[in-house]
Amino acid sequence: MATFTLETRDGARQEITGKNGVSLMKLIRRAGVEELVA
């Protein structure tokens, strides 16, 4: 597993822990970050 730090446009940071077999995009969406454009 890996830990990712996301920074939103307004500068807020959030840590997300990855899981084997789950895409980074899914983890970001599950964390409630909707402003990411793929």
pLDDT digits (tens, 9 = 90+) for 7-27: 888 888 999 999 899 998 899
State the pLDDT at residue 14: 92
Which range marks the domain in which residue 28 is found? 1-38
State the pLDDT at residue 33: 86
> What is the rounded average pLDDT of the residues 23-32?
90
C-alpha distance from residue 13 to each of 1, 5, 21 (Å):
19, 7, 24
The Cα 17–Cα 23 span in angstroms is: 11
User: In this structure, what DSSP letter does residue 2 have?
Assistant: -
Q: Which residue has the higher pLDDT, 20 or 35?
A: 20
State the pLDDT at residue 38: 59
Residues in CB range of 16: below 8 A, 6 or more apart? 3, 4, 5, 6, 27, 28, 31
State the pLDDT at residue 35: 79
Domain count, the chain: 1
Token digits of residue 4:
């990712």
